[in-house]
Structure 1
Amino acid sequence: MSSKEDKDSQSLHPDSATTHRRRGSSIGKINVGDTGSPSFSTMHTSKVQRKKSEARILELSEESKSDAAIVKKIYVAFTELAYRHTWIVPFIVLALSLATFYLSSPESETHQFLAKLMIPSYKIEGTDQYGKGVNDFYFVGFYSIFFTFTREFFMCCILRPLGLYFGLKKEAKLKRFMEQTYVSCYNACSGPFGIWIMSKLPIWLFETTPIYETYPHFTHDIYFKIYYLGQAAFWVQQSIVLVLQLEKPRKDFYELVFHHIVTIALIWNSYRFHFTWMGLEIFITMDVSDFFLASSKSLNYVNFPYTGPYFLMFVFIWIYLRHYVNLKILYSVLTTFKTVGEWELNWETQQYKCYISQPIVFFLIAALQLVNIYWLFLIFRILWRYVSVDGGPQDERSDDESESDTESDESNEEESKKVQ
C-alpha cells in the first residue's frame, strides 16, 4: 500500500494508528497491588447479563393486572436497579445494621453482636490501649462490606460522572479511570494516616531496630487498631472482587492473586503474632507508592500535560519504598531479628520471635519483593519506551485486553446510557 493510501486509511480510521501505538507502551499495564482489582461496577459485562437486563426491562413495560404481578414487578425493578447501581445492596446491609444497632437495647444479644462488628473490641480499662481477639474478625468482615459500598458508590455516583466530564467516552477507558482514581483516593487517606501513626512511634522514618527491641506488641491505641484492621478489611474486599473477576483476567492475573494472598498472610500473621510495627511499615510503603501509581494512570487517562514528569517521580518513589525500604526490612529479619530483643518460643507469654517465625517472616516479605521486582521490570519497560519510542507513557492494561475492550465498548456504552 502506498503512503498516500496509508494516510487515507488513517483518516478514515483515526483510532487505528493510535491503538497500534498504544499496545507498545502502557502505564495501565502495571497492575500493582489493589490497583489490579476492579469494582463490581467496572467488571466486564457478559452478553448473558445484558440479555437478562433487557428481559427485566421488557417485563417492567408489560401491564400488571393482579397484586401478585405488581409484587413481582417490584422485585424485578429492584433487581434491575441493583444491577445498574451496585452500591445499593451493601448500602441496605449497612443501613439495616446501623438502624438495628441504635434502636435495639444495649443489653440485647443483637446489639452486642452488632457492637462486635462496628466498634473495636478489647478496650483495656484505665488505659488507651486495645487488645486482640476473635471479635476482630467480625470487625474486618463488617468493614469489608463498608468498603464494598464506598467503592461502588464512588464508582457509580462520583467517578463515572467525573470521567464523562473529562471526555472519557469509551466504556473500557472510563472503567479503568474509575478504578485507578478510587485507588488513589483511598491511598490519599490511608497513606498519610499510616505515616501519622508511624510518626508517634520509635519506628519513625522506617527504623527497624525498635521493632525487635520492644517486641512483642500486644496492644495498640485505637488509631493503630482501626488503621490495621481497616487495611485488613480493604484487602479482603479487594481479594474477593479479584477472585470474582474470573471472566476477564488481566495479563498478570496470577501474579496479582499471589500478591493479594501474600499480603493477607502478612496482615494476619503480623497481627496474630505481634509483628504489627513491621506490618505498619510495609503498609505505608504499599499505600504511598500505590497512590502515585494510580494517580499517574488517572492523569494519563485525562491527558494531563505533565504525566511524563509525574510518572518519573513515581518511579523514584516506587524504588525507594517498594525496594529500598522493603529490602532494609528484609535485611533486618536476617540480622537484628535474632540479635535484638528476646529470642524464644513461649506460647504462654506469646513470645514468638524465634527460629520458627524468622523464616516465615522472611519468606512472606521476600515473596512480596519478588512480585515487586516483576512490576519494576514493567515500570522500566514503560519508562524506556517513554524516553526512546513513544514520546510519552501510553495507556493500555495489556495487549490481550485492548481488542476485547474495543469489541465490548458498543454494548457497554449502550448500557451505560440506560443507566445514566
Structure 2
Amino acid sequence: MLSELSAWFWQERLWFPEGLGWADLEDRDGRVYAKATDLWVALPIALLFLIVRQVFERTVATPLASLLGVKETVRLRVPHNPTLESYYCKVTKNPTQVSLVSLCKQTGCSERQVQRWFRRRRNQDRPSLLKKFREASWRFTFYLLAFIAGLAALIDKPWLYDVQEMWQGFPVLTLLPSQYWYYMIELGFYGSLLFSVASDVKRKDFKEQIVHHVATILLISFSWCVNYIRAGTLIMLVHDSSDYLLESAKMFNYAGWRNACNYIFIVFAAVFIVTRLGIFPFRIIYCTWVYPVTIYEPFFGYYFFNGLLMVLQCLHIFWAILIIRIAVRFLSNNEKVDDERSDKDETDESEDEEEEEDVKKVPKANGPLQNGHVVLNNNHSKLE
C-alpha cells in the first residue's frame, strides 16, 4: 500500500514537464543536483534553531532588553475564587451579561467586581513585554542575517537581475553549496517557527501566520525537489528584505523609543509594498506563471507551485492593507504606530485605581481576601 502510494506521489508527470524526469537530476560528471532526501536535513536544523533561540533569548536578548530599559511586566494577581476560575478556564474568558448575573449570584459579588476580576485574570495570561522583546530580537537577528547571506549568495548570479535566467537550462541546474545551505537554513527556521507557534505570542492573524508558515515550507520543499531553486532563492530573498525592519520596529517600540519605532515602521511599509506588492507579483510570479509555458507544456507541478505563490500573495495583500492603514494614520495625524494585527489578548486592559481596588474586594469562595499585590504598569503599546 505504502509503496503504491509512494509510486503515485513521485510519478514524473506530476513533478516535471513532458520528456523530463528524475533521471535528469541524477549526479553525473561532477555536477550535483537537489534531491528530495536532502530535505531531512532541515529537521535537525529546526531543532537546533529551537535550542539556539533559547540560548539567544537568555544570553543576548534579555541583557539587551535590560540595556534598553525593557522590564518584565509585574501584574496584579487576582484573589483566588474557585467559581470564577472554573468558569474562566472551562467556559469563556469573556462572560456575557446573562452569565455575569449568574456568577454574581453564585459568588455574592457585585457585577462590577466580577467584571474587574475577569479583566484582571485575562491580564495575568497575557504575554509580558520582555517576552515580546525577546521574540522580536530573535526574529530580527535571523531575518537580518538571512537577508545578508541571501544577498551575498545571489549578488553575482544573473537571475537576480534578469528573472528569466532562472529557467535557463531547467531542470538540469547544478546545485551550488551556497544554495544548499540557504535552502536548508531557511527551511529549518520556518520549521522551528511552526514548532514554537503554540508558545509564541498570538495575534489576530494567528491563522494567517499558520497558513503562511505551511505554504512557505511546502513552497521551499517543492521547489527543491523539482529544481526550481533559482526561483526559490529569489522568493526567499524578497521576503527576508523587509521582515527584519518590522522586527526592529517592534524592538524599539517595546523599549519606548517611539520616534525610532514610527519611522522604521514607515521604511518597513515602503519596502514591504515595493517587494511584496511590486517585485513579487509583477516580476517573480509573472516569470513563474507566464514564461515557463513558452518553454514546456503546463503540468501539475507548474500549477501547484504557482498556486502556493498565489496563497502567499493573498496574505501579502491582507497584511498590506493593515500596514497601509497604520502608515496613513501616522502620516496624517502623527499618531504613534500601533499594529492592527495585535490581539486584545496581547495587551493589558487599562483600569484606573478605583477599578484596581474593586478587584481586591472580590471575596474568595471559602476564605478572606489576600491583599498586598503589586500595581500593574499598563503603559506599553500594542505594536506586535
Give the alignment's TM-score, normalised by structure 2.
0.65
C-alpha change, 1:356 and 1:133, in structure 2 (3 Å) is: closer
Structure 1 position 229 matched with structure 2 position 212? no
Structure 1 position 285 matched with structure 2 position 187? no
State how 1:163-242 maps to structure 2 within 5 Å.
Answer: 163-171=65-73, 172-205=128-161, 207-242=162-197
C-alpha change, 1:152 and 1:404, in structure 2 (3 Å) is: farther
Deviation of 1:237 after TM superposition, in Å, equals 0.9
Following the alignment from structure 1 to structure 2, what is the Cα–Cα distance between the partners of residues 225 and 217?
Answer: 16
Aligned residue type for 1:237: S
1:319 to 256, 269, 273: 273
C-alpha change, 1:300 and 1:285, in structure 2 (3 Å) is: same
Aligned residue type for 1:150: V
Following the alignment from structure 1 to structure 2, what is the Cα–Cα distance between the partners of residues 271 and 410?
Answer: 54
* Structure 2 counterpart of 1:74: none
Structure 1 position 144 matched with structure 2 position 28? no
Query: How many equivalent pairs are there?
Result: 276
Query: Secondary structure of the residue that 1:332 maps to in structure 2?
Result: helix
Structure 1 position 157 matched with structure 2 position 112? no
Aligned residue type for 1:132: A
Query: Secondary structure of the residue that 1:279 maps to in structure 2?
Result: helix
Answer whether contact 1:267 1:279 (CA < 8 A) is retained.
yes
Structure 1 position 307 matched with structure 2 position 261? yes
Aligned residue type for 1:133: K
2:302 to 351, 358, 370: 358
C-alpha change, 1:399 and 1:265, in structure 2 (3 Å) is: same
Following the alignment from structure 1 to structure 2, what is the Cα–Cα distance between the partners of residues 145 and 245?
Answer: 15
Answer whether contact 2:41 2:184 (CA < 8 A) is retained.
yes
C-alpha change, 1:301 and 1:213, in structure 2 (3 Å) is: same
Aligned residue type for 1:398: D
C-alpha change, 1:238 and 1:375, in structure 2 (3 Å) is: same
State the Cα deviation string for residues 156-186 of structure 1 (Å, max 9, x = none): 1110121122221244111111111111111
Q: Which has the higher helix share?
A: 1
Deviation of 1:384 after TM superposition, in Å, equals 2.2
Query: Secondary structure of the residue that 2:203 maps to in structure 1?
Result: coil
Answer whether contact 2:326 2:339 (CA < 8 A) is retained.
no
Deviation of 1:200 after TM superposition, in Å, equals 2.5
Answer whether contact 1:300 1:394 (CA < 8 A) is retained.
no
Query: Secondary structure of the residue that 2:313 maps to in structure 1?
Result: helix
C-alpha change, 1:330 and 1:405, in structure 2 (3 Å) is: farther
User: Which runs of 5 or more structure 1 residues have no equivalent in the other structure?
Assistant: 1-121, 345-353, 414-420
1:253 to 206, 210, 213: 206
C-alpha change, 1:281 and 1:162, in structure 2 (3 Å) is: same
Query: Secondary structure of the residue that 2:183 maps to in structure 1?
Result: helix
Deviation of 1:134 after TM superposition, in Å, equals 5.2
Answer whether contact 1:130 1:225 (CA < 8 A) is retained.
no
Deviation of 1:412 after TM superposition, in Å, equals 12
* Structure 2 counterpart of 1:76: none
Which has the larger Rg?
Answer: 2
C-alpha change, 1:371 and 1:402, in structure 2 (3 Å) is: same
Give the alignment's TM-score, normalised by structure 1.
0.60
C-alpha change, 1:125 and 1:269, in structure 2 (3 Å) is: closer
Aligned residue type for 1:400: D
Following the alignment from structure 2 to structure 1, what is the Cα–Cα distance between the partners of residues 314 and 36?
Answer: 32
Answer whether contact 2:137 2:251 (CA < 8 A) is retained.
yes
* Structure 1 counterpart of 2:290: 335
Deviation of 1:302 after TM superposition, in Å, equals 1.9
Percent identity between the aligned chains? 24
